[in-house]
Amino acid sequence: MDEEYDVIVLGTGLKECILSGLLSVDGLKVLHMDRNDYYGGDSTSLNLNQLWKRFRGEDKPPAHLGASRDYNVDMVPKFMMANGTLVRTLIHTDVTKYLSFKAVDGSYVFSKGKIHKVPATDMEALKSPLMGLFEKRRARNFFIYVQDYDEADPKTHQGLDLTTMTTRELIAKYGLSDDTVDFIGHALALHRDDRYLNDPAIDTVKRMKLYAESLARFQGGSPYIYPLYGLGELPQGFARLSAVYGGTYMLNKPDCKVEFDMEGKVCGVTSEGETAKCKKVVCDPSYLPNKVRKIGRVARAIAIMSHPIGSTNESHSVQIILPQKQLGRKSDMYVFCCSYTHNVAPKGKFIAFVSTEAETDNPESELKPGIDLLGPVDELFFDTYDRYEPVNEPSLDNCFVSTSYDATTHFETTVTDVLNMYTMITGKTVDLSVDLSAASAAEEY
C-alpha cells in the first residue's frame, strides 16, 4: 500500500471501472479499491438470494422462482446502443473479448394509452399506427431529411444551419404534431425532458441518426444490445483490462479515507491504517459525500414475471419509453425487460424494471402507469435512491467524482459522464473512431 500512484479509483461501479481501464491503457499507474467485497458498487448484479436479502430482509426466496444462481439481476439495468459510445469504448479498449452480446428484441413507446413500436426510418413511419395519413407523410419527409443529413456536406443541409436553428424551429418547418414530436424526441433521440426543443437541432438530428444506424446494424427489432449474463460482466471486463496494463485491484477495503495536503489537494487514500499516495482520485459520490450535492431521486420497481410484456410482439428483451407528456409528468418513465434468453433468469422467467425520476414521496403510485403495462407479476420490489452530482472544482483538489446513475434504461448519458471525466483527468479525448464490426457477437445467437 505504501507505493505512490498516478490515480487511485474508489468504487468498482461501471463508471469507475471504465475510467480505471482507460487510464491504465494510457500507461498511468492505477490503484483501484472498493469498500465492498464484490464488484459493481451501485451497478452490481444480484442473484436471487442476494435480491431477496436486499429487499425482503431474508435469503430464502420461494422455490417456484427457480435456482438463485440462474438470476443475474442488474441493479442499474441499461441497454447499449449498438453504435453508441459505450460499444465504441468497449472496442477501443478491447474489452469486447471478455463479453458476448445479444441484440435486444424490441424498442417501444407509450402513446395515448397504448404501446407502439418506435418507427426509426421513413418506411417505418409510413407503416406506424402512431400517426394518421397526413402526419405520416410529414414525418416521412422529416425522416428522409435526417437520414440524408451529413454535417460535412452542406448540400444535404437544404439551406438550414442546425447549429443555430433550434429543434423546435426545425420541427415546425415540417409541421409535425405534438404527439409525433413526443416520440421523436423521447424514444428516438432519447431526450429525458423537453428542454431539448430550445437547443440547437444538430444534437437531436445526430441522436436520431445514431438510433437508425444502430437499428440497421443487427437488423433486429431495436437499436440496442445487452451482454449475456447481464451487466455484471462489464465492470469485471474493465477490471481485467486494468490488470493487464498493471493496474492493482483491492476489494473489501473498509473506510477508504481520502487524504488532502495543506493546499486542499488530494495526496492519498488511507484504509486499515495504511496510506497509498496519489496525485488524483476518481470515485463515486459515496466516497466523497462533502464534495457532492443531491440533485434528485430515482424511484423504481423490479418485477419477476413468467411472461413477456403484452403488445411487444412477444419480445424477450425490450425497452418501453413513456414520455412525460403522455403521463402528465415532468420526466419520462422507462420500462426495461430482459429474460432467460440473455441468461439473466431461469428458463421461462423475465425480469422487468420500471424507473423514473421521483416527483413524489409515493413511488408505488408514481410508477403505476409503467407497472400496469407489465401484466401479472410473480414478485414485485420497490426501491428509491438519491442522485448526486459533484460540486467541487477538480482543478483545485484533483478529485474527480462521477454523477449518480439516472433513471434511463440506456447507456448514452452514463458514458458521456465517463468520457467527460476522462478528458478532465487527462486533457485528452478517447478516440472512438473504431471498427464497429468488432462487437458483432450478438449475431451468433
| Residues 256, 262, 266, 269, CA torsion sign | negative
pLDDT, residue 1, reads 60
CB of 150 within 8 A of CB of 156?
yes
β 106-111/114-117 pair status: antiparallel
pLDDT, residue 413, reads 84
Q: What angle do CA 235, 236, 239 make, to 5 degrees?
A: 90
Which residue from 226, 254, 258 is spatially nearest to 105, judged by alpha carbons? 226
Which residue from 343, 346, 336 is spatially nearest to 378, judged by alpha carbons? 346
Q: Where are the domains of the chain?
A: 4-44+231-292+390-429, 56-105+294-387, 119-216
CA distances from 72 to 50, 52, 220 (A): 10, 13, 24
pLDDT, residue 232, reads 87
Q: What angle do CA 42, 15, 79 make, to 5 degrees?
A: 80
CB neighbourhood size of 278 (10 A): 24
Q: Edge-to-edge strands of the sheet including 114-117?
A: 114-117, 106-111, 318-322, 333-339, 350-357, 292-305, 379-390
* CATH code for the structural domain at 4-44+231-292+390-429: 3.50.50.60
pLDDT, residue 94, reads 87
pTM for the full model? Answer: 0.92
Which residue from 116, 85, 114 is spatially nearest to 184, judged by alpha carbons? 116
Cell numbers standing for residue 406: 439516472
Which residue from 90, 128, 89 is spatially nearest to 108, judged by alpha carbons? 128
pLDDT, residue 407, reads 87
pLDDT, residue 2, reads 66
Instruction: For residue 100, report the phi and psi dihedrals to the nearest 5 degrees.
Output: -120, 130
pLDDT, residue 445, reads 38
Q: What is the DSSP-derived secondary structure letter of residue 13?
A: S
CB neighbourhood size of 5 (10 A): 21
| Full DSSP string of 309-375 | PTTSTT-SSEEEEE-HHHHT-SS-EEEEEEEGGGTSSSTT-EEEEEEEE--SS-HHHHTHHHHHTT-
Cell numbers standing for residue 144: 428522409
Q: How confident is the model over 208-267, as pLDDT tens digits? A: 999 999 998 877 789 999 999 999 888 888 888 988 999 999 999 999 999 999 999 999
CB of 283 within 8 A of CB of 399?
yes
Contacts of residue 30, Cβ cutoff 8 Å, sequence gap at least 6: 5, 6, 7, 8, 9, 20, 23, 24, 242, 246, 247, 248
The per-residue b/e assignment along 345-358, b for 16 or more CB within 10 angstroms, e otherwise, is bbeebbbbbbbbbb
Distance, in Å, from the CA atom of 352 to the CA atom of 274, rounded to the nearest integer, reads 43
β 224-227/114-117 pair status: unpaired
Q: Which fold has domain 119-216?
A: Guanine Nucleotide Dissociation Inhibitor; domain 1 (1.10.405)
Distance, in Å, from the CA atom of 387 to the CA atom of 191, rounded to the nearest integer, reads 18
pLDDT, residue 433, reads 85
pLDDT, residue 64, reads 95
CB of 394 within 8 A of CB of 352?
no
Low-confidence ranges of the chain (pLDDT < 50): 441-445
Cell numbers standing for residue 89: 469504448
CB of 185 within 8 A of CB of 204?
yes
Q: Given 3.30.70.1050, 2.120.10.30, 3.30.519.10, 3.40.50.280, which CATH number is that of 56-105+294-387?
A: 3.30.519.10
| Full DSSP string of 208-251 | HHHHHHHHHHHTSSSSEEEETT-TTHHHHHHHHHHHHTT-EEE-
